[in-house]
Amino acid sequence: MSKALLEIKRLSCGYGDKTILRDISLAVDTEEIVTIIGPNGSGKTTLLRAVSRILAPREGKVLLSGVDINKMTPEKLARQIAVVGQFREPVAMTVKEYVLLGRIPFYTRFQFIETDRDRALADRYIRLTGIAECENKRLNELSGGQMQLAAIARALAQEPKLLLLDEPTAHLDITHQTRILDLIRRLNRELSITVLMVLHDLNLASEYSHRLMLLKEGQQVACGKPGQVLTYKAVEEVYDTTVLVDKNPLSGRPHVFLVTEEQQRVSDILGVGRQASGVRPNTQPKA
Amino acid sequence: MSRTNLRSGSRLPVFLVLLIVLSGTGVLALCTGATFIPIREIISILTSGKESPDYTILMHIRMPRIILGFAVGGSLSLAGALLQGMFRNPLVEPYTLGISGGASLGVALNILFKWYAVIGTIAYPVSGFIGALMVMFFVYGLSVRQQRLGLRDILLIGVMVSFIASSVVMLLMAISKSEDLHGIIFWIMGSLDEPNLTLIYIAVGVSLGGLLISHLFCLPLNALSLGEEGARHLGIQVESTRRWLFFLASLLTGLSVSVAGIIGFVGLVVPHFMRMVVGPDHRFLLSGSFLAGAAFLILCDTLARTIISPLELPVGVVTGIIGGIVFVYALTRKQVVL
């Protein structure tokens, strides 16, 4: 790992008079995949919005290759950071037109028509993301998985150093969840794209990330390798839910199991620990 | 359903067709009227001299209307395309922002207080334009002062201002004398009959200038179809783009309304229709809408002045009826998603 591509330094930000994030610091190294996890409303998306300059910091700053992003021109930032957001606007354009939108930051002042290079790049990323067969389809004719792939292709057309993704696997079946995350890992390895993403699924986050950052109520609870962050204690404390953490036998990475109310009662009566691989049940009463 | 119309290669024929349709309607409008003048006679009339009565009909009665129809139809349709793109709402039209309401109020006041008796007939467009400008600055000022006012709020304020203005116009009509009443109603219904040539030239200049300037915003508009944040992520300065588009659309609408009165439907239906034909890419949609809007309004005006000739229908009635029917037909024929 070389030096940090993205540095978030003591960042606080929020909307109106509400502060959402408090004192967040994170350095994402070049060619790293870092995933932000945390419960709903913990500020994961807000953090991505601060990094993509939608939201200005109250305190602290966000540096990209050592430069404050809030001092760059919007075009310059768009040539380095691409975002795959959570929401899709229903537009009747074709996939090809949609992916070409990613070239907008590279247009010169009075340029009107895309160049051959723009078209070649759009083509390349359409093929790379595996949606070549529907490149002439309209967006509203795509399935959820294809739409997500198209959004990633559009982001890649920006040729970013840093790719931000907000829940790229939301509402997708397991086929597409793995397909999308495998693609992201491949982009990371083969195109050296640094990735900062938000995932809800702790196990997917554990499998696909170099490092995790766990947020709770806008504050950083833990940050480090999946094995260090995903302990039953940390997860139970942050999510206020009883869990059991074991290891994925294939990858050796932590895997989080949910414990139902019934299982919890049974194990309490029998005095059986839900511990596996050094995990102990949380016997503290809930707050 | 054919998708070929979305490929950029097939857009050139569309524009050729549009140009042919536009010139065709222009020629048709020249020929038809209270007296029919065949095409082959037109050239000889034009070359033979300025004294003949036919020359006067062609060049002083029909031609100005055609030119004004071109300018107003193009402007309204372009303004509609810009606003629909900016608000990402297919139901927005130039009049939604209350601009027409302001213009009607201005004209109604002009008629009631007889400003036209002081400064001449120029008072109609001037008062209309001032009314439109006042609404524009009101809506815009409100949205700037309240930093957190979203697009939806601007839209709602526009609609409300529209209602307020039309209610005040009704109030004025209720208390006005019958000859004034006729003047207000006539103006509100809209007409391309404009005796002042200078105004027509201004309208043409502004509409063509607007078309040119609007093309600087094609790519930001395309980016905006990804939503506000999506556009920002592509490096678009959303606020300044919006501000420019708002002023551009307001100027185009304000001028159209003050010269020709309220001609509904062009700004709503034509951009819709063109989106079905050329797709949602604003690089084609803007000029396509302009040309189609110009042709549509010239055609409607020709119908308006021939159907019950020598009397004349308000052109807004024709645009509403034809536009509405054609549009509903097209919608049921083809799946449209905006």
Q: State the alpha helices, DSSP H only, in chain B.
A: 11-31, 39-48, 53-56, 63-87, 99-112, 115-119, 123-145, 151-175, 178-189, 197-214, 218-224, 228-233, 238-260, 266-278, 282-306, 315-333
Helices B197-214 and B282-306, interaxial angle, to 10°?
A: 160
Which residue of B3, B88, B234 is in closest CB contact with A101?
Answer: B234
Which residue of A16, A104, A136 is in closest CB contact with B3?
Answer: A136
What residue of B is the nearest CA neighbor of A110? B216
Quote the pLDDT of residue B26: 93
Higher model confidence: residue A178 or residue A86?
A178
Is the pLDDT at A204 greater than 60? The verdict is: yes
Higher model confidence: residue A252 or residue B1?
A252
Among B295, B302, B273, smallest CA distance to B72 is for B295
pLDDT (mean) for A196-213: 96
Higher model confidence: residue A261 or residue A37?
A37
Flag the least confident range among A43-47, A86-90, B260-264.
Answer: A86-90
Is the pLDDT at B9 greater than 70? The verdict is: no
Cis, peptide link before residue A249, omega less than 30° from 0: no
Going by pLDDT thresholds of 50, 70 and 90, the confidence category of residue B53 is confident
Quote the pLDDT of residue B146: 65
Quote the pLDDT of residue B58: 86
Of A187-191, B184-188, B239-243, B308-312, where does the model show the most confidence?
Answer: A187-191
Q: Which of B3, B226, B239 to mutate to test the interface with A (most CBs of A within 10 A)?
A: B226
**Per-residue pLDDT tens digits for B286-305:** 999 999 999 999 999 999 98
Given an 8 Å threshold on Cβ–Cβ distance, is B232 in contact with A52?
A: yes
Is the pLDDT at B208 greater than 60? The verdict is: yes
Please state, rounded to an integer, the average pLDDT across all residues of chain B: 86
Quote the pLDDT of residue A272: 54
CB A104 within 8 A of CB B224: no
Whole-model pTM?
0.89
Rg over alpha carbons for chain A, rounded to the nearest Å, is 21
Distance from CA of A286 to the nearest CA of B (A): 39
Higher model confidence: residue B116 or residue A126?
A126
Which chain B residues are within 8 Å of A112, Cβ to Cβ?
215, 218, 283
Quote the pLDDT of residue B149: 60
Please state, rounded to an integer, the average pLDDT across all residues of chain A: 90
Is the pLDDT at A71 greater than 90? The verdict is: yes
Given an 8 Å threshold on Cβ–Cβ distance, is A54 in contact with B232?
A: yes
One-letter amino acid at B230 equals G
Among B13, B84, B89, smallest CA distance to B271 is for B84
Q: Report the share of chain B in percent with pLDDT over 70.
A: 94
Distance from CA of B230 to the nearest CA of A (A): 8
Higher model confidence: residue B154 or residue A84?
A84
Quote the pLDDT of residue A278: 44
Helices (H) and strands (E) in chain A, counts: 10, 12
Could you say which DSSP state residue A108 is in? Answer: -
Among A202, A223, A276, smallest CA distance to A245 is for A276
pLDDT (mean) for B83-107: 86
Distance from CA of B225 to the nearest CA of A (A): 7
Q: Which residues pair with A28 in a beta bridge?
A: A6
Quote the pLDDT of residue A194: 97
- B261 phi and psi angles, rounded to 5 deg: 80, -165
- A109 phi and psi angles, rounded to 5 deg: -50, -50
Of A131-145, B66-80, B151-165, B192-206, where does the model show the most confidence?
Answer: B66-80
Given an 8 Å threshold on Cβ–Cβ distance, is A113 in contact with B232?
A: no
Quote the pLDDT of residue B3: 39
Residues 6+ apart with CB under 8 A from B283: A112, A113, B215, B218, B219, B222
Distance from CA of A212 to the nearest CA of B (A): 24
Long-range contacts of A47-51 (CB under 8 A, 24+ apart): A47/A8, A47/A11, A47/A21, A47/A198, A47/A215, A48/A83, A48/A164, A48/A166, A48/A196, A48/A198, A49/B229, A50/A8, A50/A11, A50/A13, A50/A21, A51/A6, A51/A8, A51/A81, A51/A164, A51/A196
d(CA A167, CA A151) in angstroms, rounded, equals 12
Furthest CA-CA distance within chain A: 74
Helix (H, G, I), strand (E, B) or coil at B90: coil
Chain A residues contacting B via beta carbons under 8 Å: 16, 49, 52-54, 73-79, 81-83, 85, 87, 89-94, 97, 101-102, 104-105, 107, 110, 112-113, 136-138, 140, 158
Going by pLDDT thresholds of 50, 70 and 90, the confidence category of residue B246 is confident
pLDDT (mean) for A199-220: 96
Going by pLDDT thresholds of 50, 70 and 90, the confidence category of residue A271 is low
